[in-house]
Each structure stands twice: as C-alpha cells, then as structure tokens.
Amino acid sequence: MTTPYEVAVRAEAELGEGPTWDAAAGRLLWIDILGSRLHTYDPATGRRTVRRTEQHIGAVRPRAGGGLVLNLRDGIGLLDPDDRFRWLHHEPVPGRRANDAAIAPDGALWAGTMRYDEAPGGGTLSRVTGGGTVEVVLDDVAVSNGTGWSPDGRLMYYIDSPTRRVDVFDYADGRISGRRTLARIEESAGFPDGLTVDAEGCVWVALWQGSAVRRYTPGGELDRVIELPVPLVTACAFGGAGLTDLYVTTARVGLTDPPALAGSLFVVPGAGKGLAQPVFAG
C-alpha cells in the first residue's frame, strides 16, 4: 500500500536523521548528523531554525525541565532553556561517534554509538539517567539505530542495522531481556534504520537504500509500505497536534547523483496515530 507524501522541508541534509516531536514547543526536531546541524520545524507556521553544533550529533530529544539533550560524538550534552550548553557525560572515543537515541518510559536516554568505519562490535547502546549515570547495556553493536517501546512499556524494539533485523526485548525497570527477532529485512529492501512505534503497537521502520518506510504488526507481519522518491530513508516519527502525521528524514551522503529531494524532510499526513513520547528526566 502506497500513501501520498508531501515535502515538509526541502533540504540537502547530508545525513538527515532523528525526527522527534517536541510537544511542549509544538515543533519537530531533526538533525543532520554529518552536517552537525540541529533543525526545528513548526508545521503550524512553517517557521524553521537551524543551529550548528560543535561536533557530529546523533540525536536530540526534549528535556522535562525545558531545553534539549543531545547525543554527540564525544558524549551526552545538555542545552538548557537559556540556550547554554554543558556536558552531562563526556567520553570521547577515537573513531567513534553518536548515533540514534530514544527516551524510555522512565525518562532515561538510551543512546547509541558506532564507529565511523562501521566495524562490527565497535558500537554500544547505553542507558543514561537524568543524573548522568551511564550503563552500557549492549556492547557488541555495529550501527546502533532505531529504538522504541510498545504502548504498554513492556517491550523494547531495537535495530543494529547491518544485521538487517528488527529485534524485540522484554523491558522492565530499565532492564532488557529475552532478545528475539520481530522482523527480517530482505537484502533487496535495504537496511533497517530508525523506527517508531504507533498507538496500535505497530513498528514503523525506515529503510536505508530501500526508498521506503514499512510498518510491521506486533506479530512481525508487514502490513504497510510507504514509498519515497529517495533511496536513503533514515528515520520516522509521528508529530503534529494530534500525532497523526508521519515525518520522515532522508540523506544524500555517498550518492554520486542524488535525487533532487534527497536530504529533505517528508511528511505523510494522517498516516496513523503516534504515541506521546516521554521526555528526558535530566
């Protein structure tokens, strides 16, 4: 099934990623990882802002007290409501950078990393509390990517992109167990990248080199495909006042002849119903 899309923001992001609805501000946050840029977009007014970050940025999420938490190359940073920056956790590792991140039901940040050369085992997935305590949860990761929780908070979905799998864990009290496979992405469809979970418990997965977003049921069945006019589809999230519009980021990095819309932010109006997302407890 193909659903009509619109171009929300025409852009040339090198590696557009991490769309996140900031409910308190009524805006969408998204990033360009390799362009070191933090974007905002207000769909009600069309207002956009762009802020350059001092280093590559893997993810951005709202904070409970205002401001933003940033998954950066060298650790976890905080932007305070007055726009001042400070490190919550600073841990530079040569050859490694931040990648996707998500907020768990308890307000902790689950932050992923990867090596620039994408070496197997070079990345991690860590749980970061509001107080700055960091615990490495998975330490044998290549490209840590999409992470999300079921509507009841009892399951966590996770993607390590080169595995071509969407995995699911049991989740309780900040701990995961019982890893198993929800869905496998066939080679011809590209690699799974970012994900989001909707109010029905279905998992939407962006497909890098696949020109599409797929929705899988909680049982792992493919039941919907949204095709896009660019090959590098990176991540997706529901936004807008009713959380019914699906925003999709894309990239153009490495393309010798990129399509005109590569690197733009797309939106699929009325695609479904998203879940209100927790904010970082720090």
Catalytic annotation, residues: 193
Distance CA 86, CA 94 (A): 21
Burial class (CB within 10 angstroms; exposed 0-12, middle 13-18, buried 19+) of 280: buried
Which of 127, 131, 166, 128 lies closest to 145 in space, CA to CA?
A: 166
Q: Cα–Cα distance between 103 and 261 in angstroms, integer?
A: 30
How far is the CA of 35 from the CAs of 14, 207, 263, 279, in angstroms? 6, 21, 11, 25
Question: What amino acid is encoded at 65 in this protein?
Answer: G
Is residue 117 a known part of a binding site?
Answer: yes
Is 71 annotated to bind a ligand? Reply is no
Q: Helices (H), strands (E): how many in the chain? A: 0, 24
145 is in an annotated binding site: yes
Determine if residue 99 is labeled as part of a ligand binding site.
yes
What does the alpha-carbon distance between residue 7 and residue 277 come to, in Å, rounded to a whole number? 24
Residue 276: other Cβ atoms inside 10 A: 10
Show binding-site residues for a divalent metal cation.
17, 145, 193
Q: Which residues are annotated as a binding site for substrate?
A: 97, 99, 117
Binding residues: 17, 97, 99, 117, 145, 193
